[in-house]
Amino acid sequence: MGNKFSCKTKNNIGSKSSRRFGGGNKKKIQTDEEILHMQALSLAIQHHQQSQRFENGGSMSRRIGSTSSRRRNNPVSDQPLTNNPKQQKQSLEFLENLETKKVVLIHGEGFGAWCWYKTIALLEESGMVPTALDLTGSGIDLKDTNHITTLEDYSKPLTDYLQNLPEDEKVILVGHSIGGACVSYALEHFQQKISKAVFLCGTMVADGQKAFDVFAEQLGSSELFMKESKFLIHGNGKDNPATGFMFEKQQMRGLYFNQSPAKDIALAMVSVRPIPLGPIMQNLSLSKEKYGTCRRFYIQTLEDHALSPDIQEKLVRDNPPEGVFKIKGSDHCPFFSKPQSLHKILLEIAQIA
């Protein structure tokens, strides 16, 4: 199963990853740099929790009132949750009534479980049980991205997780960007294990579409992109089809992190991995009987340069979800730029009956 971070591992991420890859010639592939990166991430999570406790004087717990509207017309602002005893009591009541406290976080293209460190900390503070997975060839998963050719391969850590989930348990899936295609794939094959699906500025495609179609306005048609893009990687040689792509770091800054803090951008710049082409060029087969019966929600990011608000609005119109939420002032990475706003919305979605 793929690498994952959860509440049970946040304080010993470095040591756990060392054990996982330790022993045997094959398992010694992991470098000192990867171990240091995992330890740094563990410290980042702990530092974030401590700073939030200091700023807010204690627990982050709060009940978020449910909404009867299918759309949120007033975008959420990124204000810290308050430390009010009455709200803390309401928070405990709301947690008791949830269908599930488990939230599975699926990263987007080039990212890994590491990008969710703020969201993990905030959800845990609120009593939820988050787990962030590394998709195949992402984060610290060692598989060569040039050998990942299908959405099934790319999504395997997620499908393995759902396959091993006890029959009486469900989760809330959250998919960022192209990770939305993995969520759609999971909805089609494991709909009985999923309470709700949240597409975070994600590729919420319709039946017969591929994840790349969503970005076609910015990147050009898939045919043109495959012929002319300077970002392509030919892992099997120039004479063979491209196997992946990787944006230049300066371009990523403008597309993904136009509202994000400098420290988070620095973390991303040393952590992003090449993006396998095969999974995002694969047409999804989504049925009304399976995918169509699942509860879907969409979170729009209103300062997004990678997936513009207009394109996100079109996704919502073409494939309507149950609810739509908006985050004001967020770039393509709200887990960096607007973590409090994202957290509030995730709690609100969790309690919608």
Asked if residues 318 and 343 have their Cβ atoms less than 8 Å apart, the reply is: no
Six token digits for residue 126:
């609120």
Whether 184 is catalytic is no
Which residues is 104 bridged to in the sheet?
131, 173
**What digits encode the pLDDT tens for the residues 271-329?**
999 999 999 999 999 999 999 999 999 999 999 999 999 999 999 999 999 999 999 99
Paired residues of 197 in beta bridges: 173, 296
Task: Mark whether 304 is an active-site residue.
Answer: yes
Give me the pLDDT at residue 230, please: 73
Q: How many structural domains does the chain have?
A: 1
The mean pLDDT of 152-181, rounded to a whole number, is: 97
Per the CB < 8 A criterion, the answer to whether 213 and 281 are in contact is no
Please identify which of the residues 6, 42, 61, 177 carries the catalytic annotation: 177
Q: The domain that contains 18 carries what CATH number? A: 3.40.50.1820
Residue 176 bears catalytic tag: no
How many C-beta neighbours within 10 Å does residue 345 have? 23
Range of the domain at 104: 4-351
Cβ proximity of 220 and 214 under 8 Å = no
Cβ neighbours of residue 142 under 8 Å, at least 6 residues apart?
21, 29, 30
Could you give the CA distance from residue 38 to residue 44 in angstroms, rounded to a whole number?
Answer: 10
pTM tops 0.85:
no
pLDDT in tens, 173-215: 999 999 999 999 999 999 999 999 999 999 999 999 999 988 8
Tokens representing 341 are 């706003």
**Confidence at residue 285, expressed as pLDDT on a 0 to 100 scale:** 97
Given 134, 264, 304, 331, the catalytic residue? 304
Side chain identity at residue 321, one-letter code: P
Mean pLDDT, range 59-77, rounded to an integer: 43
Portion of the chain with pLDDT greater than 70, in percent: 71
Q: Which residues 6+ apart lie within 8 Å of 347 measured at CB?
A: 62, 63, 64, 126, 128
Report the distance separating Cα 192 and Cα 195, nearest Å: 8
Predicted pLDDT at 239: 86
> What would you report as the CA-atom Rg of the chain, rounded to the nearest whole angstrom?
19
Q: Which of 37, 48, 176, 332 is catalytic?
A: 332
